[in-house]
Structure 1
């Protein structure tokens, strides 16, 4: 039987501490070779600006093979539709049975925030207390929840183009033990932060490296998976000790990295390592308190496999979801 899990069901199952632990293990598994993490496949036709991206992973820890189809469709905004949609398929590693089909919205949001938390745990200063957010939507909420699991965050400085979005964000933070400050400018947010998360679907860079202060850690998260879209300028990439989730993935779809390379500010050799190598102790992370570190978070299939295992097991244990006999 195949368990179909909708977004509304998945909202009730997501648990951030467990997700962070699972994503951290997945990164380590990639580094040690107990997980297979292929480069993504990006498909596009001249007939539209849409991209369809296949992200896959296979791992002993989860006992799963998984693949996500991410549809990145900027034109959907004009029609009032989500500009990104995705579905995740999970198959048993031993038998090949299709165990589950998940709507991708909730898993992607939660595992993305968890990856930023793992990166911050290993790359930020341990006493980091101020979180800066560029963007104030659902992904920003998830990032606060994730960061509180790994760092002593007590202040969140947030910027958004929309004052209404900031007010809605503040309301969603009311149950958490943090002070929320609305920043007047992006620069104010960057300069106030110990840890900065960029969470916008920007095409042109919003964040400038000249604003980076010693000791800052940056999670570059929001730009679309396209080589021409970025949130951070070339100077920001060049000033930072740079880490990625996957070199193969970054080479395919990280505009933050690829445009900095195109402009001659960095090369692939400037990448210090993959996050999994840091987690596994194969590559050093932050080298000193004044270092500026940056995690280029493009997203890899093993993150989906990791959270997929958690969500599937939780749904089975609680009797949730719809069982479908795909072979019938």
Structure 2
């Protein structure tokens, strides 16, 4: 039988600590050579795109394969009342190729992306980091914050975005969840970033919005927003000044924060310090100085999706009331 797992069922078991733990383990497996990750492929449409993301992970307790199909259609909400991003994940048993589950992947995508930022912050930011600048105030900003709060004891979060209403709303809502943290709406990007220990960017911009002069020595940057060719959140001179850690070379060079500098000849592969999995696996060190500026370029890997979908599947199989299932043949 193949189980059909809805977004509501995913949300019932996928907590922030679980997603953080799972994604960290997935990156480690990849760094150890225990995961197979072909590059994501793109179908480009007039109004958006469709991405195909397969992966196989083989570690003790996690021998699973799968593929995620995910779209990005920026005008969906306005035109059709649909989310910009929608995803479906198919889990496959490597022993026989049987499809054990089909899951809504939209919430998983949001959670595993936030978890990647949390994991990178754990290994690359200063352990005593207290102040974060959060550039963007959408759904991904929320999951980045929740996962980073599991790894660092933040005392102040400065929220910067073009919409004053969004900044204020985000700060008001997050203040209720973290009353010990001061949330400040900051319409000036420079003021938001200056003096911050961590800068996390979650925008869809194609023109750099974060300047080199805004970033102090010792800052860690999570570059989350760039996920397609042509997208870039950081000034190229800033990116070049960082110790650059990527999730995976082929994806990052095609569609990550480094894609524009790479395509223009301003960066080369030799300028990349490491993949995050190499650091978690102990093959390379993470932060080595309080003064270095570190950058994590996150494009989102299928190993994050498949591993997170699998722990969701496992958790639901332990429940008395199982999800719906179908017999496909």
TM-score (norm 2): 0.93
Instruction: Give the whole-Å Cα distance in 1 for the aligned partners of 2:260 and 2:250.
Output: 16
1:181 aligns with 2:184: yes
Range that drifts further, 290-299 or 60-69: 60-69
Instruction: Give the whole-Å Cα distance in 1 for the aligned partners of 2:34 and 2:268.
Output: 29
Q: Which residue of 2 aligns with 1:137?
A: 138
1:208 aligns with 2:180: no
After superposition, the CA RMSD in angstroms is 1.6
Q: How much has 1:81 moved relative to structure 2?
A: 3.0
Instruction: Give the whole-Å Cα distance in 2 for the aligned partners of 1:101 and 1:164.
Output: 37
Gaps of 5+ in 2: none
Q: Which residue of 2 aligns with 1:50?
A: 48
Q: Which residue of 2 aligns with 1:4?
A: 4
Local SS of the residue matching 1:63: strand
Q: Which residue of 2 aligns with 1:243?
A: 245
Whether contact under 8 Å (2:161, 2:187) holds in the other structure is no
1:1-328 to 2 correspondence within 5 Å?
1-44=1-44, 48-61=46-59, 62-79=62-79, 80-173=81-174, 174-176=176-178, 177-223=180-226, 225-254=227-256, 256-318=257-319, 319-327=321-329
Q: How much has 1:263 moved relative to structure 2?
A: 3.6
Q: How many residues align?
A: 323
Q: How much has 1:92 moved relative to structure 2?
A: 1.4
Range that drifts further, 158-167 or 20-29: 158-167
Instruction: Give the whole-Å Cα distance in 2 for the aligned partners of 1:198 and 1:179.
Output: 19
Provide, for residues 219-259 of structure 1, a one-character-per-residue CA deviation record: whole Å limited to 9, x for no partner.
Answer: 10023x321111112112111100100012112322x2121
Instruction: Give the whole-Å Cα distance in 1 for the aligned partners of 2:170 and 2:5.
Output: 27
Instruction: Give the whole-Å Cα distance in 2 for the aligned partners of 1:40 and 1:90.
Output: 17
Instruction: Give the whole-Å Cα distance in 2 for the aligned partners of 1:115 and 1:39.
Output: 18
Instruction: Give the whole-Å Cα distance in 2 for the aligned partners of 1:82 and 1:202.
Output: 18
Instruction: Give the whole-Å Cα distance in 2 for the aligned partners of 1:165 and 1:8.
Output: 26
Q: How much has 1:77 moved relative to structure 2?
A: 4.6
Range that drifts further, 268-277 or 206-215: 206-215
Local SS of the residue matching 2:254: helix
Range that drifts further, 280-289 or 69-78: 69-78
Q: How much has 1:273 moved relative to structure 2?
A: 0.9
Whether contact under 8 Å (1:19, 1:114) holds in the other structure is yes
Gaps of 5+ in 1: none
Whether contact under 8 Å (2:164, 2:187) holds in the other structure is no
Whether contact under 8 Å (2:22, 2:308) holds in the other structure is yes
Local SS of the residue matching 1:235: helix
Provide, for residues 106-132 of structure 1, a one-character-per-residue CA deviation record: whole Å limited to 9, x for no partner.
Answer: 101111111111111111111111121
Provide, for residues 26-84 of structure 1, a one-character-per-residue CA deviation record: whole Å limited to 9, x for no partner.
Answer: 11111111111111112225xx1422211111011321101111112234254143222
Whether contact under 8 Å (2:86, 2:106) holds in the other structure is yes
TM-score (norm 1): 0.94
Instruction: Give the whole-Å Cα distance in 1 for the aligned partners of 2:20 and 2:53.
Output: 19
Whether contact under 8 Å (1:40, 1:252) holds in the other structure is no
Distance 1:112 1:36, change over 3 A: same
